[in-house]
Structure 1
């Protein structure tokens, strides 16, 4: 190996150490209990991913993507990191890029909110604008080739960058935290799909560890994942953007692995947003819309468990904090502009928490 090669290997070793040290400093995320009637015999837990340093579940993904690029020799000193993301993934990747002294550029639609752009730039990232969300992928590839950089490509590598067998992934963390609970092996784990990486990790882990847990994926309006799972047609595409940030895609992303999913539920956007207000009211936790989608799904499954006389536990995620959405999801004027009426769903939730029966509006 040449002197230059030795220097590169040395730099990569130090980069991996820096990222691992950050993980050790961050410790693990909390597992909260959502209050349910004690006589139901069912416990609901919320793994709070909003407490990561960059405030979301995507912190884990960004760490894995950078480590994946480092150990594969794709990232070295001076490598420009490129992504196609206007959301939490880009925020977290910018954080890790700055930690390693690397330039980070993310391709974003021109209509991306100033708040998101500011957060990416806060961590040292730079936004490269395109007119249409559909242009993001090809433009990210072009930029990476132009500058001889590395396209992190969350939508392709999310399912493989994380070690699904363990190594402190989110699934292993959940089971370790559940070990002293009255139902330590969850009956259900409920997650959304943005890249598909989280459901792939949970689905593979529970099979590898031979747990009886089932994995349910909740999907918002306009997303392609639900239709693809139902039809087993991975070319299924709505071509429409999701209003629930962080989950739902206009196309099926390469990291989506339908074979590890036991059930999918389609969740109305108004139901997701009513659920985060209920969460804040009942627990004090302020979360984003994707957490509401998760919570809606847990209520559906818990109602089914009660109907079938089953006891057990259900686990879902708090994906990010609600402060990012003060002007949208928690703003009544924004809801009215979007023609989203959350009141009927709030009544459904109140009836569910009283009786255990979940009956969506109009049923």
Structure 2
């Protein structure tokens, strides 16, 4: 089939199955980095723009304004091109430079928040304030406000449908990162409708306040809710069975481990979800087919997560994580599994 719009490339992402030795579990990695903007956020970004246009809140030729650490911004920049809109991305120093470069390449107007912030401090509150202010000042502008936008969670219905088909309807658990709560809520709700017994696990960075833990700075990008911010209205706690935290070192070292052993580049937050999924499998909390989305690719973090010097300067290197992953997966697991367990399926 020959497609006519880049947005038609969104979805139908492949799934990679990895059997976990010594357990009855299998990780099902849904490769969302294969979306045209490189992340799972392509789905919700287009859905938010479509909903705003359909309701009349956003007019043809209008301006979309959003606070973003990068992936949602890339998705909105793509949607703006398709629908003939302008896009203003409000970012802070925490956004990966490669993500900002992609948004610029797609024609986005990048606005940095003012003020002095620590390198590991996410300026979400100021980003939100500035985005709302710009939307009020600019004629025809609409602040998407993904944290409180119902169309955020509504953008993941196809993800759920595809996942159920690929897993042949048999899913034991879903493990995903939680930031604004849109993907976690939309996917967890949909999977629970398919089977209420599916265990849903939300992973936030250590230092995030989503599940009531003390807030402090963290380096994981595009996930969690930092201290001083409020949890988005889109997050529905009732569809989440378990909320857990993962440290920056656990998340980043897992991303690096997956690259070295599976030749798959995944982002830092995805490394965190894989680490916690494996931990919970070995604790006997999760079993069967455990779905984990590859929310975005490691290509956007080559100068951070995959840079030894960057990690060392921030005391984020921890060889103990790789040792733990070896224990969970077996040192020879990857070589042994190359001839049998790994399997690729496309909806």
- Please tell me the TM-score bracket, short chain as reference: 0.7 to 0.9
Q: Does 1:270 align with 2:249?
A: yes
CA–CA distance in structure 2, aligned partners of residues 101 and 172 of structure 1: 29
Equivalent residue, structure 2, for 1:347: 323
Cα distance 1:154–1:178, how it changes in 2: closer, same or farther (>3 A)?
same
Flag the 1:263–1:274 CA change in 2: closer, same or farther, 3 A.
Answer: same
**1:57 shift after superposition:** 1.0
Aligned to 1:41: 24
Structure 1 residue 113 displacement after superposition: 5.2
Instruction: Report how far residue 207 of structure 1 moved.
Output: 2.9
Cα distance in structure 1, aligned partners of 2:299 and 2:218: 19
Q: Which residue of 2 aligns with 1:205?
A: 190
Query: Greater relative contact order (Cα 8 A, min sep 6): structure 1 or 2?
Result: 2
Q: Residues 48 and 204 (structure 1 numbering): CA distance in 2 closer, same or farther, change over 3 Å?
A: same
Matched, 1:151 2:135: no
Match of 1:220 among 180, 205, 211: 205
TM-score (norm 2): 0.85
**Any stretches of 5+ residues in structure 2 without a counterpart?**
116-122, 332-347
Match 2:272 to one of 293, 299, 305: 293
Residues 24-47 of structure 1 deviation map (CA, whole Å, 9 limit, x = unaligned): 34451011112422x632211100
- The aligned counterpart of 2:343 is none
Partner of 1:215: helix, strand, or coil? strand
C-alpha distance in structure 2 between counterparts of 1:263 and 1:59, whole Å: 26
Q: 2:302 corresponds to which residue?
A: 326
- Would you say how many aligned residue pairs link Structure 1 and Structure 2? 317
Query: Kindly tell me: are residues 347 and 290 of structure 1, through their superposed partners in 2, closer, same or farther at Cα, counting changes over 3 Å?
Result: same
Cα displacement string for residues 3-59 of structure 1 (whole angstroms, at most 9, x for unaligned residues): xxxxxxxxxxxxxxxx9954434451011112422x632211100100010101111
Q: Which has the higher helix share?
A: 1
1:96-147 Cα offsets, whole Å, 9 max, x none, are: 1012221111112257554333221111101112224232112111111111
1:283–1:71 distance in 2 versus 1, CA, 3 Å: same
User: Does the 8 Å CA contact 1:178/1:185 hold for their aligned counterparts?
Assistant: yes
Counterpart residue number, 1:9: none
2:153 and 2:181 in contact (8 A); partners too: no
- Single out whichever of 20-29 and 310-319 deviates more from structure 2: 20-29
User: Counterpart of 2:341?
Assistant: none
Alignment of 1:121-200 (within 5 A): 121-132=104-115, 133=123, 134-148=125-139, 149-157=141-149, 159-163=150-154, 168-179=157-168, 184-200=169-185
Assess if the C-alpha contact under 8 Å between 1:163 and 1:169 holds in 2.
no
Residue pair 1:90, 1:120 contacting (<8 A) in 2 also: yes
What's the C-alpha RMSD, in Å, of the aligned pairs? 2.3
Aligned to 2:52, the other structure's residue is in SS state helix
Change (3 A) 1:160 1:259: farther
Task: State the alpha-carbon separation in 2 of the partners of residues 299 and 155 from structure 1.
Answer: 29
User: Which of 79, 87, 91 is the equivalent residue of 1:96?
Assistant: 79
Mapped to 2, the partners of 1:314 and 1:110 lie a distance apart of: 34
Tell me if 1:303 matches 2:282. Answer: yes
Conserved 8 A contact 1:68-1:161: no
Q: Secondary structure at 2:91's aligned position in 1?
A: strand
Counterpart residue number, 2:340: none
CA gap of 1:349–1:110, structure 2 versus 1, over 3 A, is closer
Q: How far apart, CA to CA, are the structure 2 residues paired with 1:254 and 1:22?
A: 30
Map 1:229-244; keep pairs closer than 5 Å: 238=215, 240-244=216-220
Once residues 96 and 204 of structure 2 are traced to their aligned partners in structure 1, the CA distance between those partners, rounded to angstroms, is: 23
